[in-house]
Chains A and B, each alone.
Chain A
Amino acid sequence: MGSALVVAVVKYGLLGLLWVFILLAVRTIRADLSGRPAAPPPQPKAMRPTSTKAARPAKPVKRKGVPSKLVVTEGALRGTTVTLADAPVTLGRAHDSTLVLTDDYASNRHARLVPTDSGWTLEDLGSTNGTYLGSTKVSRPTPVPLGSVIRIGKTEIELRA
């Protein structure tokens, strides 16, 4: 009978469409996970890095001896890791910092890690309580060797390969 066929088509069609929706949704997640190149945040043209190396999509470099991530080893954020790319990492309590510190002894804009040709450089941004690399206070941009401890207030941070 015609109407029975229509009813069956509607019934299975609805269930099929339901799962097509889910498959589309899952595909969206997969596209997110595969880590397509991130669109660069809006920047004034003059400030854009000009070297061809920096213009390539940000991707953690896996080379021996070059830090690929930043690990918080002590303090309220212990266990947090940040993957290092080619962009500078800002540390502080200000909530637009790359790593937002929940530490009473940290300043809003406390310190900054900047990638250079020879590795990462730590720079204090005029914090109230200072930034320490190992046991020395950082007063000028200082290169950070792998595994040495950066201390900000009660937070300790290490760069790891």
Chain B
Amino acid sequence: MSALTAPQGPARSRRGTELTLLLFATALAATGYAAVGIGQNGTVPSGTLGYGLGLGTLYVLAHLAVRRCAPYADPLLLPCVALLNGLGIVLVRRLDLASADRARQAGRAVPRADAPLQLIWTTIGVGLFVAVLVVVRDHTRLARYAYTCAAAGLLLLLLPALPGVGATINGARLWIRVGPITVQPSEIAKILLMVFFASFLVSKRDVLSLASRRVAGIDLPRARDLGPVLFAWVASIAVLVREKDLGTSLLFFGIFVVMLYIATERTSWLLIGLALFAGSSFTAYHLFGHVQARVDTWLDPFRYTNNQGYQLVQGLFGMGTGGIFGTGLGEGSPNTVPFAKTDFILAAIGEELGLVGVMAVLVLFALIVERGLRAALTCRDSFGKLLGGGLSFALALQVFVIVGGVTGLIPLTGVTLPWLSYGGSSVVTNYVLIALLMRISDAARRPAPSPVSPSAARASLQDAPTTVVRRG
């Protein structure tokens, strides 16, 4: 892990900057909320003030928790998340209004509005964010629960496959039904397994990086050390086959390979990972119909405009309509894209906020990832480095997979766009993820305790051996 450890790094807590940016983000979200109403019928909707105040209160509470529990945490993470989430709720509401309109015109019953639910999920998410900061005072403690996390993660991952609890929604069996709500347990499993990966790799790093043979300039690991990566590969394939979920299995495999790479600094792990990925993709393409359909649609979406490619084509048309500056919130018709609230929310942004808006959203994600990686780089313990790197990369990979899918760069796989897409599990989990990143960045940016401080002096006295003191 070649990293620049900078104990003399910025020691300013910058909490004031965070508060300012948070209030700005809230104001922006409220402006968006008003813009939807102005675009649709020329008036500022009555709920604007309530929405802004509610969201503002939520984030001020989160900010106070950060001030108390993680005073040196990165000041940018929370505001960027707040802005993305606020925009997400605005877009979900905008799509709610559109589907209500359409239902009214067709004389059908108005469908349930999702925006209030999303607001509730956001509240739960911020609550969990605070809870994680309060409970996890020291991220290295998490390493102690590595195997518990692994067991819980695997259980959650396999839960949807069980008959009775599992539910199939839109062809993918990755949901469980708890009373009236459905939960996507793989989201939480993702974080639990990352904690396990980080802890496992820190303890096994030497074996994985040192014992190797050199073949054609690449350090190949010993066959028996391939165990963990093969296990991850098999597990992700199992998810793919049992639950028909391309996105999740791709995410899991990518995260594991990259964490191996971060831990060992061996390019060979990336090459092995890519080879395994290529092999399994090729096999999956020939074995499974749904994989084949995705690839065919990606290669030539317009050939399947009226069936399997409808969603992608409508999304592309939407973004094309938006152009550079977009149609303006409430002016386009993003609801023609199926699942515009979840997987295709980027198409809605592209249509109504244009390329400028899409770029802004992508830069916000890039900022979050950059700050996360920076926290991992400056963090002083290996577990924090690995977990921070893994969490940031997971976020980046997820954004890449869905944005690439929606824009037609790679075959479409259904994962959510973090904080923007409608979906409780995703929002809540990503708040936990950002809380862990904040915890790691707090540890990384905290000024190194000076060895002459009284507590350290006491501690070193305890560790010191007995010595004979000669009197002058």
Residues of A whose CB lies within 8 Å of any CB of B are: 3, 6-8, 10-15, 17-19, 21-22, 24-26, 28-29, 32, 35-36, 38-44, 47, 58, 76-83, 85, 87-90, 94-100, 102, 107-109, 112, 125-126
A residues in contact with B360, CB < 8 Å: 15, 18-19, 22
> B44: shortest Cβ distance to chain A, in Å?
10
Give the contacting residue for B75; candidates A14, A28, A125; CB below 8 A.
Answer: A28
Chain A residue nearest to B2 (CB atoms) is A79
- Contact between A28 and B354, CB atoms less than 8 A apart: no
**How far is it, in angstroms, between the C-alpha of A125 and the C-alpha of B465 when the chains are bound?**
9
> B266: shortest Cβ distance to chain A, in Å?
13
**How far is it, in angstroms, between the C-alpha of A154 and the C-alpha of B453 when the chains are bound?**
29
B residues in contact with A79, CB < 8 Å: 1-3, 265
Give the contacting residue for B31; candidates A14, A39, A40; CB below 8 A.
Answer: A14
Instruction: Say yes or no for B39: interface residue by CB 8 A criterion.
Output: yes
Residues of B whose CB lies within 8 Å of any CB of A are: 1-12, 14, 17, 21, 24-25, 28, 31-32, 34-35, 38-39, 42, 75-76, 79-80, 83, 138, 140, 202, 205-206, 265, 325-326, 328-329, 331, 353-354, 356-357, 360, 363-364, 367, 370-371, 380-382, 447-454, 456, 459-460, 463-465
Known: A7-B328, A43-B452, A82-B7. A15 touches B357 (CB 8 A): yes
Known: A14-B32, A15-B353. A100 touches B381 (CB 8 A): yes
**How far is it, in angstroms, between the C-alpha of A109 and the C-alpha of B459 when the chains are bound?**
9
**How far is it, in angstroms, between the C-alpha of A107 and the C-alpha of B460 when the chains are bound?**
11
**How far is it, in angstroms, between the C-alpha of A88 and the C-alpha of B354 when the chains are bound?**
53
- Contact between A83 and B6, CB atoms less than 8 A apart: yes
- Contact between B325 and A126, CB atoms less than 8 A apart: no
- Contact between B452 and A38, CB atoms less than 8 A apart: no
**How far is it, in angstroms, between the C-alpha of A112 and the C-alpha of B380 when the chains are bound?**
17
**How far is it, in angstroms, between the C-alpha of A76 and the C-alpha of B206 when the chains are bound?**
7
23 contacts between A and B (CB under 8 A): A7-B39, A7-B328, A10-B38, A10-B329, A12-B325, A14-B353, A15-B356, A15-B357, A17-B31, A18-B356, A22-B364, A25-B76, A35-B10, A36-B12, A38-B447, A41-B447, A77-B1, A79-B265, A82-B5, A83-B7, A83-B8, A89-B7, A99-B380
**How far is it, in angstroms, between the C-alpha of A13 and the C-alpha of B326 when the chains are bound?**
13
- Contact between B10 and A21, CB atoms less than 8 A apart: no
**How far is it, in angstroms, between the C-alpha of A43 and the C-alpha of B449 when the chains are bound?**
9
**How far is it, in angstroms, between the C-alpha of A79 and the C-alpha of B39 when the chains are bound?**
56
> A79: shortest Cβ distance to chain B, in Å?
3
B residues in contact with A40, CB < 8 Å: 11, 447
**How far is it, in angstroms, between the C-alpha of A13 and the C-alpha of B27 when the chains are bound?**
13
Chain B residue nearest to A128 (CB atoms) is B465
Chain B residue nearest to A97 (CB atoms) is B380
A residues in contact with B11, CB < 8 Å: 38-41
- Contact between A28 and B17, CB atoms less than 8 A apart: yes
- Contact between B5 and A81, CB atoms less than 8 A apart: yes
A residues in contact with B326, CB < 8 Å: 11, 15
**How far is it, in angstroms, between the C-alpha of A22 and the C-alpha of B25 when the chains are bound?**
10
> B319: shortest Cβ distance to chain A, in Å?
15
- Contact between A14 and B8, CB atoms less than 8 A apart: no
- Contact between A15 and B460, CB atoms less than 8 A apart: no
**How far is it, in angstroms, between the C-alpha of A139 and the C-alpha of B466 when the chains are bound?**
14
**How far is it, in angstroms, between the C-alpha of A10 and the C-alpha of B33 when the chains are bound?**
11
6 pairs of A and B residues whose beta carbons are closest in the complex: A79-B2, A11-B328, A38-B11, A41-B447, A126-B465, A18-B360
A residues in contact with B265, CB < 8 Å: 79
- Contact between A21 and B5, CB atoms less than 8 A apart: no
> B349: shortest Cβ distance to chain A, in Å?
11
Chain A residue nearest to B356 (CB atoms) is A15
Give the contacting residue for B329; candidates A11, A24, A44; CB below 8 A.
Answer: A11
Give the contacting residue for B450; candidates A11, A15, A87, A109; CB below 8 A.
Answer: A87
B residues in contact with A17, CB < 8 Å: 28, 31
B residues in contact with A42, CB < 8 Å: 453
**How far is it, in angstroms, between the C-alpha of A28 and the C-alpha of B16 when the chains are bound?**
11
Give the contacting residue for A18; candidates B2, B206, B357; CB below 8 A.
Answer: B357
